[in-house]
């Protein structure tokens, strides 16, 4: 089952904050966040694991609500380089297989 991301798109001015949400109808084992710029490969940002473990980017924070099967990615003091499409990939068991959402297009303007 594909996770649902919201919003579908967001436009910010430099320095503003944004929150991107990812929710699943299935119990989650882990959530993986990626950013993809047009024509490029998805770039790893962060992993959140059931039980509270996190691995990833120093300047990006995220939360994982295991009871609600939701994760949120927090982008603070946005920079132009944050522009791109953000994807969450969910793992519903310890099987290394990710199911990705449709993405959230983030545009940061000067």
To the nearest whole angstrom, how small is the minimum distance from the Cβ of residue 14 to other proteins?
A: 26
4 is a site residue for other proteins (CB under 8 A): no
Q: How many angstroms separate the CA atoms of 49 and 109, rounded?
A: 33
- The encoded tokens of residue 4 equal 């649902």
Tell me which residues in 8-67 interact with other proteins (CB under 8 A): 29-30, 32, 34, 40-44, 47, 49, 53, 55
Number of residues this chain uses to bind other proteins (CB under 8 A): 27
Q: How many angstroms separate the CA atoms of 96 and 110, rounded?
A: 39
Tell me which residues in 73-102 interact with other proteins (CB under 8 A): 87, 89, 91, 94-102
String of DSSP letters for 36-83: E-TTS--EEEEEEETTS-EEE-TT-EEEEETTTTEEEEEE-S--GGG-
DSSP state of 29: S
To the nearest whole angstrom, how small is the minimum distance from the Cβ of residue 110 to other proteins?
A: 26
To the nearest whole angstrom, how small is the minimum distance from the Cβ of residue 25 to other proteins?
A: 16
Interface residues with other proteins (CB under 8 A)? Answer: 2, 29-30, 32, 34, 40-44, 47, 49, 53, 55, 87, 89, 91, 94-103
């Amino acid at each position: 089952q594909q996770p649902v991301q919201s919003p579908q798109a967001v436009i910010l001015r430099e320095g503003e904050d944004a929150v991107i949400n990812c929710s699943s109808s299935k119990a989650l084992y882990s959530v993986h966040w990626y950013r993809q710029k047009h024509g490029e490969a998805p770039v790893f940002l962060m992993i959140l694991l059931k039980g509270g473990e996190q691995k990833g980017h120093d300047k990006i924070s995220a939360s994982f609500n295991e009871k609600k099967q939701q994760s949120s990615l927090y982008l603070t003091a946005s920079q132009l380089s944050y522009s791109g499409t953000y994807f969450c990939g969910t793992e519903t068991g310890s099987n290394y297989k990710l199911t990705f959402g449709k993405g959230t297009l983030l545009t940061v303007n000067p």
